Structure 1
Amino acid sequence: MNWSEKIASYFTGNGLIYIVADEHNILGQSKIKKLLNVQGRVLHFYEDPLLFRELYESNFRHLNRTERQTLLIIIKDSQFNQIPYDVYEQAVHLTLSFDTFFPNLDSSVLKECSHVLYDVIFSLHSELIQPLNGRETADFLLNKVCSINTSSISNEAALIKSGLLYYEKYNEGLPKVLLKRLNQILYQINNNRLLESRLIFQSKECFKLYLNQMWQQHIDSFEKGAEISKKKPIHSWDYFNDPFIQRYIFQYIEPVKVSNANRYEQWMFPGLFIQEETASLIESLFRDDYSLFEINDWLRFASKLGQLQNQLLLREQHEEYFQDNVSKANESFDKWIKENFHKLRSLSVLPKPKMVHQIPHYLSRKADKKIALIVLDGMSFTQWHLIKNHLHSKDLKTDETAVFSWIPSITSVSRQALFSGNEPSLFSNTISTTHKEKILWTSFWEQQGFSKQNIAYEKSLGLKSYNQEELAYYYSPSVRIYGAVIDIVDKFMHGASQGLQTIQSEMKTWLNSGYLDYFLEDLIDSGFEVYLTADHGNIECIGTGRITQGITVDSKGERARIYSSLNIRNFTAYEHDEAFIWDDTSLPNNYHVLLAKKNGAFVPKNQKIVAHGGIHIEEMIVPFAKVYR
């Protein structure tokens, strides 16, 4: 039994009302709240008597115990009589306190600790045979719970190893009360380097920043002429020679640019970007002739292209040579997609979907499980590989394939197709908006035999701090089908002043906030089988000039323009060589499309932007992945 299960075991009476004195806010811990919610318990933190009365009268008073949920009324002190008497007299009264659960630990220290520590505290506290004071409690937590063996810290290597062990278990810094105690211990050692390094426990970001600064200085010593051959480089730091640190450090290290590999040992390579390798990486992907490429070849190529582009962007090596090769490959893809797009619509959804609108049909074959489909609006394979690497560093695994977007590769077309399971011609009334996605998503799953209460959908996620309690599925245990849109890539895309480089930089910052991994982990913990995809990708574009038409055009996208008048669309194409006509029977009759050629965009000449809407390989092929532990 873990900590959350221990707390939940106090509230097993179905339909009962509990009044809980919770001075240490134990029931406010997110994992405990989630477990109680899954068990059908309603938690009410009592503050406003009127709000409570409304809740009680509407949902509990007039229902028999067998018909109602279990209610937990949570108060901050032991004044049970503040609860209305008619409720008080029928309720079970409980007090939750650290003094009860951990009698040998100092509660004043425990209440300052993060919730993430309590599972480990609960599993280890039974080792104690006598009460500890505040300082002793802090030492117990540092050594046993946080894996920071304070008695063995005599040098910087030992401190770094403690940091690696601590952040392997926890994603946040030490609680202030423990950080203060650790500082006291380090001051007693009287080692200036240790005192400078102690800030690594303030947060995981501080740890990463410190390691990267030291790694850069370490590599600089080699670049200035130090030789390896079993000599220590000038200005070396002993901890980089420690085998344990060498093994685990690179999940925190950003590769450093170096001129060649000759002067470096093999173990250092994950922390290096060897510039001479760029050309060979590019040559391994691109070729002179793509004429024999079929669907699976292009799907694999798109993923490898995104992987390579992500590497080059992270290393600030997004060179013209690489972009020229992409352009050449895309010329072949352009020809292939124009000849074969109509065939994609009729391909089987099994063993894996080939187009985004087939994804719901594929998932419906797995509907004996709870299903969560997370759509990162506008995510290309370039962003996906950055995201995938981040998820893998958090011990989340991915099973990846690729699917085609719709044409035009714009949100109102491709994302509606994705959530509705239909071709665009079947949602012609809403093809210019995404406001009906929830209705379309719900309708698809109702046709599969689910009721409305089993289905949830929400969008505009990822734009603020993560809070599971704000998500649509959290308070509804009956939800079995969950669809959600994370808008962060699209937000970064439309503000990318430096092109793809800006997006990758901002994506890294967002990923380090923990939003995505918390979101996915909570879904997995709630029993969902989680899938992640995109409605379309994106490309770095160069402006070819604006097309000024006023009200004669229905939608003025940067890569796609939509007309209700066929004649105006055709005349516009005739007048602008940088555009071409796209017609397909999958589109509504009055929906006429004009697309930008190659990587052009209908914006001022030579302006660099990141956009979508056309038929570039980076827009048209997107990831579809299962995420699991």
Structure 2
Amino acid sequence: MSTWTDRILQEFPADLSRFWIACDPDDLLLDERILHGLRERGFEVLPFEDPVAFRTEYEERYRAAWDRGDEGTSKALVLQLRGTDLNTLPWDYVRMGRKVSLSLADLFPRLSYGVIRQMDSEHHEALFLAHNKHATQPLGEGATKDFILTHIFRISPYLLSRPEDFWREVLRLHYRGAGLPDLLARHVAAILKDTSLGDLPIAELLASKSYMVRTVQDAWGRFLSQYGVHSERTSNDLVEVSPEVSLPFEHPDVRVIVDTMFLEGALQPVGAHDSPTDLPGWVKVGLVEDPVALGNLVSEGVRRVAADLPDANATHRDWIELARRLGELISRFNSLSTEIAEPIKEHICKLQRDADERLRGWLVQHYADLPSLPAAKGPVMVHHVPRYLALRRSAGEERVALLVFDGLALDQWFQIREYLAARLPGFSAEEGGCFAWLPTLTSVSRQALFSGLKPREFSNSIESTTQEPSLWARFWQENGLRKPEIVYQKGLKRTEQMAELEDAIARPATRVAGIVVDMVDEIVHGAMLGKRGIAGQINAWCETGFVEKLFLLLAEQGYQIYLTADHGNVDAEGIGRLSQGVVSELRGERVRTYRSETLAASVPSEIDAFRFDSPGLPPDFLPVYADTRGAFVPIGDQIVAHGGISVEELIVPFIKINIKRPAS
């Protein structure tokens, strides 16, 4: 246990009370390490967001058992109040609960509260140690920013006098992290504005990984053009997303990180034939001179990712980053010819199996923490998405469109992204990811996505999607919109359906649109040649122009566009059919669900399956999963499916789409 975690946990001695109230304005308890530490001590944390939902869960899952003298779901429950006003709570809670106050201002008394409250919780531990060791006197706002840059991010903006120094730090920051908080990025930009670096978009480069990658990708194309190599990608980008920027690619510190970004897929190599004889050898990692070269790139990427799989102490961010790297590799692999792919296939499959086994072990310890994590800086699970979009509307995004590409895995998003980057002027994407709900079935995870609820809270409709429109409307009505301002449309997949959508989203009253695009799911369910075959069908779909027309339509109507999925998909192999008649309520290829322990235990022992009772599901909704990459179909059959526990099924894209239009 870390010093930081111990400091928070010491506020909760065991056996003092069953019901606690934590006044926690900075969401300190909603950190996955803290949540895990409390759970190990027998405490559950439940944020007080909806009084009715809290009362229901408290009475049914905790108080009823305690009144009977049972331990119940846990030994103790912590009501997490995001504030300090106890008058907002029901009187019986205040009377019974043991009170605790937690605040960043109290834990970091020598640093500026206005600055540290904008730091992500992943930095709290390192900042706590640095504060206790190095902060010898109270620091103002500017000094606190410098303190954090020095001790947490290892950057001193006053020493970034040369381009190679600046770019080394920018690339290092983003290679394994998420960049600087906006507040710190603007601080660095203000310091450097009167230097030789002042013409660069410094704040954007430091804060946004997607912006940095676009800038480096464009700069790489211009760099190669000096040697007579022209990139189709940049030549079609008729609208500049980022200004023309030159990078010191030749510098060893810059070159080593750029090299790795090409190998792992963050940067896309440029196709070239008969490259010039004077081209330096190190440049070839960013070139594809023939198909074999791309195969070698995939092989090296597999080796690097396999050596860096998350362990049991990883955070959810580590897993989302791993899913991104794995998705880039799979996307590249699926683009290879059969001849080149075949020798690599077993290495890819082993990496997928190893990643899935690690993920399953991690989920046993940490999945229960994910639903409660804060969504202010991005959704951690799909049911956080509506709440995050509501925050974006409050921040000034007046019209918001949520595109749910049903069944879209991360590797398939990267395939679509590359198609759009080459053909849609002004296109860019701020890329992230989030966790679907287990089991990764449409009726479970997509309903959670549109409703903002945990599956336990829509138990009556958990086996179908018929309630999605009303659940989507109810969420937004509870967040201040009227029914005419809310649009929901599903079944979108072809260009000829665009007129009906346009009629709905073009109405002046419309403020939010939830749109289900289900072509990928349709392709998956009809797949005969595995995910490599699906990649070809997705390419053909993209060639129809549907996706780019959809994005342009929404952008022209003034919508901020967010794209996600309810679940992904995975190549699976049959382990045997389950012939149980109507015993199973939902019969997916990767998971079966049952309404009682007796029925769940009826799965024959010779079938390679396992139980994982994830929290947040109704108590009478019990999933049984096919092991590893198995499926409940005839032994040896090869299919593409979803519903189970794998990186490709569980971690889905969450993307903000940007379309920069030409100046009129």
TM-score tier (shorter)? 0.5 to 0.7
- Distance in 2, matches of 1:328 and 1:463, equals 37
Matching of residue 404 in structure 1 with residue 430 in structure 2: no
Question: What residue is the counterpart of 2:328 in the other structure?
Answer: 307
- Tell me the alpha carbon deviations over residues 188-221 of structure 1, each in whole angstroms, 9 at most, x when there is no partner: xxxxxxxxxxxxxxxxxxxxxxxxxxxxxxxxxx
User: Which of residues 529, 545, 562 is equivalent to 1:531?
Assistant: 562
Per the alignment, in what secondary structure is the counterpart of residue 551 of structure 1? coil
Shift of 1:615: 1.1
Question: What residue is the counterpart of 1:428 in the other structure?
Answer: 459
Per the alignment, in what secondary structure is the counterpart of residue 639 of structure 2? strand
Shift of 1:329: 1.8
Q: Are the aligned partners of 1:256 and 1:272 in contact in 2 as well (CA < 8 Å)?
A: no
Per the alignment, in what secondary structure is the counterpart of residue 287 of structure 2? helix
Question: What residue is the counterpart of 2:379 in the other structure?
Answer: 353
The amino acid of 2:525's aligned partner reads H
Question: What residue is the counterpart of 2:417 in the other structure?
Answer: 388
Q: Which has the larger radius of gyration?
A: 1
Q: Are the aligned partners of 1:463 and 1:487 in contact in 2 as well (CA < 8 Å)?
A: no
Shift of 1:353: 1.1
Q: In the superposition, relative to structure 1, how do residues 625 and 308 fare at CA in structure 2: closer, same or farther (>3 Å)? A: same
- Tell me the alpha carbon deviations over residues 208-253 of structure 1, each in whole angstroms, 9 at most, x when there is no partner: xxxxxxxxxxxxxxxxxxxxxxxxxxxxxxxxx9999952545799
Shift of 1:466: 5.2
Single out whichever of 468-477 and 305-314 deviates more from structure 2: 468-477
- Distance in 2, matches of 1:419 and 1:387, equals 23
Shift of 1:565: 2.9
- Distance in 1, matches of 2:505 and 2:489, equals 12
Shift of 1:419: 0.1
- Tell me the alpha carbon deviations over residues 448-495 of structure 1, each in whole angstroms, 9 at most, x when there is no partner: 010000000010101454533444524522111100000011011011
Q: In the superposition, relative to structure 1, how do residues 247 and 288 fare at CA in structure 2: closer, same or farther (>3 Å)? A: closer
Q: In the superposition, relative to structure 1, how do residues 472 and 578 fare at CA in structure 2: closer, same or farther (>3 Å)? A: farther
Question: What residue is the counterpart of 2:448 in the other structure?
Answer: 417
Q: Are the aligned partners of 1:468 and 1:474 in contact in 2 as well (CA < 8 Å)?
A: no
- Distance in 2, matches of 1:264 and 1:538, equals 45
TM-score, normalised via structure 1 length? 0.58
Q: Are the aligned partners of 2:487 and 2:505 in contact in 1 as well (CA < 8 Å)?
A: no
Question: What residue is the counterpart of 2:646 in the other structure?
Answer: 616
Question: What residue is the counterpart of 2:357 in the other structure?
Answer: 331
- Tell me the alpha carbon deviations over residues 63-82 of structure 1, each in whole angstroms, 9 at most, x when there is no partner: xxxxxxxxxxxxxxxxxxxx
Q: In the superposition, relative to structure 1, how do residues 255 and 341 fare at CA in structure 2: closer, same or farther (>3 Å)? A: closer
Question: What residue is the counterpart of 1:203 in the other structure?
Answer: none
- Tell me the alpha carbon deviations over residues 134-165 of structure 1, each in whole angstroms, 9 at most, x when there is no partner: xxxxxxxxxxxxxxxxxxxxxxxxxxxxxxxx
Matching of residue 377 in structure 1 with residue 406 in structure 2: yes
Question: What residue is the counterpart of 1:600 in the other structure?
Answer: 630
Question: What residue is the counterpart of 1:505 in the other structure?
Answer: 536
Q: In the superposition, relative to structure 1, how do residues 419 and 261 fare at CA in structure 2: closer, same or farther (>3 Å)? A: same
Q: Are the aligned partners of 2:401 and 2:514 in contact in 1 as well (CA < 8 Å)?
A: yes
The amino acid of 2:385's aligned partner reads I
Question: What residue is the counterpart of 1:247 in the other structure?
Answer: 230
Shift of 1:500: 0.3
Q: Are the aligned partners of 2:575 and 2:632 in contact in 1 as well (CA < 8 Å)?
A: yes
Shift of 1:532: 0.3
Q: Are the aligned partners of 1:425 and 1:587 in contact in 2 as well (CA < 8 Å)?
A: yes
- Tell me the alpha carbon deviations over residues 537-576 of structure 1, each in whole angstroms, 9 at most, x when there is no partner: 111101111010111111111011111232011121x624
Q: In the superposition, relative to structure 1, how do residues 370 and 324 fare at CA in structure 2: closer, same or farther (>3 Å)? A: same
Q: In the superposition, relative to structure 1, how do residues 564 and 279 fare at CA in structure 2: closer, same or farther (>3 Å)? A: same
Q: Are the aligned partners of 1:399 and 1:626 in contact in 2 as well (CA < 8 Å)?
A: yes
Structure 2: gaps (5+ residues): 1-223, 237-267, 660-664
Q: Are the aligned partners of 2:273 and 2:289 in contact in 1 as well (CA < 8 Å)?
A: no
- Distance in 1, matches of 2:482 and 2:320, equals 36
- Tell me the alpha carbon deviations over residues 405-444 of structure 1, each in whole angstroms, 9 at most, x when there is no partner: 0000000000000000000011011100001100000000
Per the alignment, in what secondary structure is the counterpart of residue 545 of structure 1? coil
- Tell me the alpha carbon deviations over residues 345-365 of structure 1, each in whole angstroms, 9 at most, x when there is no partner: 111112111000001000001
- Distance in 1, matches of 2:355 and 2:272, equals 29
- Distance in 2, matches of 1:360 and 1:245, equals 48
Per the alignment, in what secondary structure is the counterpart of residue 523 of structure 1? helix
Per the alignment, in what secondary structure is the counterpart of residue 602 of structure 2? helix
Shift of 1:594: 0.9
- Distance in 1, matches of 2:537 and 2:332, equals 15
Per the alignment, in what secondary structure is the counterpart of residue 527 of structure 2? coil
Shift of 1:610: 0.6
- Tell me the alpha carbon deviations over residues 564-597 of structure 1, each in whole angstroms, 9 at most, x when there is no partner: 232011121x624411112133111221111111
Shift of 1:325: 1.6
Aligned residues: 388
- Distance in 2, matches of 1:255 and 1:290, equals 27
The amino acid of 2:441's aligned partner reads I
Shift of 1:281: 1.6
**Aligned positions of 1:120-159 closer than 5 A:** none
**Aligned positions of 1:558-573 closer than 5 A:** 558-572=589-603
Q: Report percent identity of matched pairs.
A: 32
Q: In the superposition, relative to structure 1, how do residues 581 and 527 fare at CA in structure 2: closer, same or farther (>3 Å)? A: same
Question: What residue is the counterpart of 2:304 in the other structure?
Answer: 284
- Distance in 2, matches of 1:271 and 1:417, equals 46
Per the alignment, in what secondary structure is the counterpart of residue 414 of structure 1? helix
- Distance in 2, matches of 1:575 and 1:261, equals 59
User: Which of residues 290, 296, 301 is equivalent to 1:272?
Assistant: 290
Question: What residue is the counterpart of 1:516 in the other structure?
Answer: 547
Q: Are the aligned partners of 1:537 and 1:621 in contact in 2 as well (CA < 8 Å)?
A: yes
The amino acid of 1:457's aligned partner reads Y
User: Which of residues 373, 383, 390 is equivalent to 1:364?
Assistant: 390
Q: In the superposition, relative to structure 1, how do residues 276 and 626 fare at CA in structure 2: closer, same or farther (>3 Å)? A: closer
The amino acid of 1:433's aligned partner reads S
- Distance in 1, matches of 2:549 and 2:309, equals 44
Per the alignment, in what secondary structure is the counterpart of residue 450 of structure 2? helix
Per the alignment, in what secondary structure is the counterpart of residue 623 of structure 2? strand
Single out whichever of 592-601 and 581-590 deviates more from structure 2: 581-590
Q: In the superposition, relative to structure 1, how do residues 459 and 293 fare at CA in structure 2: closer, same or farther (>3 Å)? A: same
Q: Are the aligned partners of 1:543 and 1:601 in contact in 2 as well (CA < 8 Å)?
A: yes
- Distance in 1, matches of 2:225 and 2:402, equals 43
Question: What residue is the counterpart of 1:122 in the other structure?
Answer: none
- Tell me the alpha carbon deviations over residues 295-331 of structure 1, each in whole angstroms, 9 at most, x when there is no partner: 1111100011001110111013261111112211211
- Distance in 2, matches of 1:320 and 1:301, equals 19
- Tell me the alpha carbon deviations over residues 97-123 of structure 1, each in whole angstroms, 9 at most, x when there is no partner: xxxxxxxxxxxxxxxxxxxxxxxxxxx
- Distance in 2, matches of 1:383 and 1:252, equals 24
Q: In the superposition, relative to structure 1, how do residues 539 and 258 fare at CA in structure 2: closer, same or farther (>3 Å)? A: farther
Shift of 1:290: 3.5
Q: Are the aligned partners of 1:372 and 1:528 in contact in 2 as well (CA < 8 Å)?
A: yes
- Distance in 2, matches of 1:529 and 1:500, equals 31
Single out whichever of 411-420 and 284-293 deviates more from structure 2: 284-293
Q: Are the aligned partners of 1:466 and 1:519 in contact in 2 as well (CA < 8 Å)?
A: no
Question: What residue is the counterpart of 1:61 in the other structure?
Answer: none
Single out whichever of 382-391 and 448-457 deviates more from structure 2: 382-391
TM-score, normalised via structure 2 length? 0.55
The amino acid of 1:280's aligned partner reads E
Per the alignment, in what secondary structure is the counterpart of residue 473 of structure 1? helix
